[in-house]
Structure 1
């Protein structure tokens, strides 16, 4: 079980400790930087951004906005193992989609490789770094414990020798893992990150920007504070796992010759149930084809959420309302869905769609006749106007809206019962037709001409209202219904692939939608009456409409709370 706790988000964010600390820094007598608040968002370009990154983006860019400051976008490309320009482009696209902008402040960590090397050499000259030849296994075995200091037989290596070896490391004379450069700090520190940490390692791998210019690369803990200082960052906002690394961050800032002195502040990462957020695990899902790609609508990636129909407003509202905490926690996915419903309820166009169609014949409606009704596109926004729907003798209704033998409190169609066809007429079911196996193939009904618009002039009560489509004008569509990708609330386990939900995707190919849908362009948003909120998929064409269910109408989070 995880140590994370489930939290119930407040409807309004009650406060933000990061803002409190920044205001203390900016106040008289506090830490006065003498310039604007300057933050940065530093993703590693080795995968696509996910909903957890959205929280960090909102904190980094949102904090700068709050104080009239600036936020840089920096690609932390210090590890060439999995980095690619594909990820760089996707990161830019996702941040823009969320509504944030870095103006001309776009940087790469690799831009600073020469300066980092220069500063590492300076540390060696000052007796604050040395070349170590321990293998990773030996280094681990010699790291000591709380009662015993770490050990390195190379710690007192002469400065000239370390300078020579470091230059030869850079020149490519040694194989991967043969040597490292370590900061000389404190082998007896209670914080193991300070026990002479590695700050450079050898990696003979082509970099996506610098090619083969470098075969040694700085470690994140060394590179990151230097990048911040070079860019003039005032507040380096990062996730909670870097709290124990803060002393090393401050040590680097103190001992390198750069004017800016950024302050690191940590906040808790976002966890959501029924999904994984590890890039390694997400990559496995993609590369082993358990999902269709990084933008599969079941993925927690921003491109996946976008394709599913989540809006920037819903995600930013979600990030704002869960707040900024100092303790890791898990937020229910249903709250993210709740935020989406709130947005789409105001902005999604209403339409009728039949997902499991069965034919309804109005036997007393003249053959060849049709009529039209004007209906609102969105009752929440009258300014969205109206559309025209056609009614005729031959209709489609949902298969579940008819029962030959109704169960208790079933108010929809069954022989002898009246129902209201949404916006059209009241009809009385007169029976059905079945095939040789007893399966219903057609429902029969008669309409009451006096009830146009669904009104009952005589005041009789009609309990059931169902949606419908004109069979003569409705067009076919494919609809994809999504559920949780995993069967358990906390799948962040090594056997996570065994926890995949086999029913996370259901594809319906015989659906019917209004003919006006042919004019829609992805990612148009709709509320299918009585069904849920849907968006037009990017692969949709006029000849083959494809809709993704973004979220159902039922709000489990709201009901629970």
Structure 2
């Protein structure tokens, strides 16, 4: 298997290069199956940044014919919840990745972690410290001065006794910690006797009240990896300075494997925030309508907005894997969605801001049926029928009584093509007492069925329409960036100060083809000339609801 992988010259990245070295002859994992893991903390919903990590963890395993575990990092019960566990599993499966039967919780290793902590104490490599968090910060030292702890030389037997009593709940929260005994002078502050365990009396969503001490992530994570036989622990770049501690833990306890940690840069996208704490604030303080609000960068929010697994996976693949942190334009994510939906979405006609068009010379009792393609890129999707009659709905901005220069749509005396059907000539309009146009009038040329003029005259404008007799009334939700600046999360900025008050516009009197009323979420459509839209979960046959996924205009491609 390893030889076959090494011969495969599919484009990779620096992680793949490291793994190729590791599984080659003489490498540290020669003859072993590549085994990765995705270890989310179940304290919120996954966002687009996690999608990059998911694609790297699961995608790397697929690339090398290996396997990837899904593990919930539930070492901190403060904000954890079963709701998040279920949502994480749903999002990963939606992206198209499978963990098989390899689904784990960090909490299932709590007993083993406690045993390994005892092992370190017995080796003289860990001790119970009674410094408070404030005192620990005061004694942390700096690059010129070492850290200090008066408890560092505490006898092994005393630390063993105190640690057991910590476990048994004899001390209040914050009274004691278990610290690794490494190097108080290290230039890497993560190695200055880091805390391994703290007292925290919070009920755990899986273990209940069994434990009142919980391991720190830097201690738990390498143990979990080693117990599961992970070969490559792929982490985001902020864990690079933690790698010496990861290796220290692995090398000083009797675990069955020694994984290799490799770091990559996180994904940054402009005009949004991707801190779980800040996303939680948006949800809990009702700045948005839940974790799956289509304005959120969460995977469930993107899914509800109409993003597809293919578009997100393609986005993650094309931005690549790097060591240097960078920010990707949101418009590139939209570009990837637009590419996918252009190939897959059914075309349809919808009018968002309707005004009635009356074709005065068309018989009042007549209705015609036209056959139209569902998707010109996919002949296999077939055709559908649309009805055409005397009264139609068109977009308000497709009529202008006094046209500006370069306007080729409907105005008195001008001819336009009604998509797929006839050429019509505008003859005027009717206004209400406020001067608003409420009806537009035109005459059709019966010789132009199909939209072509037999005499060859050129028609510059083509507009879409919906038959007033059969149209369904729908609600359409138009979304814009949640924030008004590209970097709401940089420096001392309060990201809430930059919330976009116009990030959601709801239109309630839109007109759509009748078959769309019974469509189920999350079916996507291209509303001709308007953009890509999907059926929202709130939609019913009586009140269809659509979300705008992305406009037709590709600003990224233009750049």
TM-score scaled by length of structure 2: 0.97
Match of 1:467 among 464, 469, 481: 464
CA distance change for structure 1 residues 15 and 70 in 2, over 3 Å: closer, same or farther?
closer
Asked if 1:394 is matched to 2:391, the reply is yes
Cα distance between partner residues in 2 of 1:256 and 1:300: 40
Runs of 4+ in 1 over 3 A off after TM superposition: none
CA–CA distance in structure 2, aligned partners of residues 93 and 128 of structure 1: 41
Higher relative contact order (CA 8 A, sep 6+): 1
- Distance in 2, matches of 1:518 and 1:147, equals 70
Q: Does 1:539 align with 2:541?
A: no
Whether the 8 Å CA contact 2:517–2:543 is kept in 1: the answer is no
Map of 1:288-299 to 2, 5 A cutoff? 288-299=285-296
1:74 pairs with 2:74: no
What's the offset of the Cα at 1:518? Answer: 2.3
Partner residue, 2:176: 179
* Correspondence 1:30 to 2:27: yes
Partner SS state of residue 130, structure 1: strand
- The Cα shift of 1:34 comes to 3.2
Query: Offset at 1:340?
Result: 0.3
Q: Is the 8 A contact 2:295 2:479 kept in 1?
A: yes
Q: Contact 2:184–2:191 (CA<8 Å) still a contact in 1?
A: yes
Range 437-446 or range 299-308, more displaced: 437-446
Question: Are the aligned partners of 1:33 and 1:234 in contact in 2 as well (CA < 8 Å)?
Answer: no
In the other structure, the counterpart of 1:524 is 523
Task: Find the partner of 1:440 among 422, 437, 454.
Answer: 437
Contact 2:518 2:540 in 1 (8 A): no
1:327 pairs, out of 324, 327, 334, with 324
Aligned to 1:250: 247
Q: Which whole-Å deviations, capped at 9, do the CAs of 1:234-283 have from their partners, x for residues lacking one?
A: 00000000000000000000001012010000000000000000000000
Is the 1:480–1:505 contact (alpha carbons within 8 Å) kept by the matching residues of 2? yes
1:285: which partner in 2?
282
Partner of 1:548: 547
Tell me the matched-pair count: 548
CA distance in 2, matches of 1:522, 1:440: 34
Equivalent in the alignment of 1:8: none
Match of 1:4 in 2: none
Contact kept, 8 Å, 1:420 with 1:454, in 2: the verdict is: yes
Could you tell me how far apart the structure 1 residues matched to 2:273 and 2:432 are? 47
| CA–CA separation in structure 2 for the residues paired with 1:250 and 1:389 | 66
Consecutive unaligned residues of structure 1, counting only runs of 5 or more, are 1-12
Structure 2 residues without counterparts, runs of 5 or longer: 1-9
Aligned counterpart, 2:446: 449
Mapped partners of 1:404, 1:82: distance in 2:
59
Structure 1 residues 482-521: aligned runs within 5 Å: 482-493=479-490, 494-521=493-520
Q: Distance in 2 between matches of 1:516 and 1:425?
A: 22
> Aligned match of 2:193 in 192, 196, 200?
196
Q: What's the CA shift string for 1:166-214, capped at 9, x where partnerless?
A: 0010000111111000000000001000000000000000000000000
| Distance in 2 (alpha carbons) for counterparts of 1:161 and 1:469 | 82
Tell me, in whole angstroms, the C-alpha distance in 2 between the residues paired with 1:367 and 1:393.
6
Q: 1:437, 1:457 → 2: CA distance? A: 41
2:47–2:297 contact (8 Å) kept in structure 1: yes
TM-score w.r.t. the length of structure 1 is 0.97
Instruction: Measure, in 1, the Cα distance between the counterparts of 2:27 and 2:86.
Output: 39
Q: Distance in 1 between matches of 2:345 and 2:387?
A: 21
Which residue of the partner structure matches residue 129 of structure 1?
A: 126
Structure 2 SS opposite 1:118: helix
Cα RMSD for the two superposed structures:
0.8
Equivalent runs, 1:39-118 vs 2, <5 Å:
39-118=36-115
Deviation at 1:401, TM superposition (A): 0.3
| 1:303 paired to 2:264 | no
Cα offset for 1:35? 1.5
Equivalent position SS for 1:454: coil
Contact 1:420–1:426 (Cα < 8 Å) also in 2 = yes
Whether contact under 8 Å (1:39, 1:72) holds in the other structure is yes
Q: Which residue of 2 aligns with 1:427?
A: 424
Alignment partner, residue 354 of structure 1: 351
SS across alignment from 2:59: helix
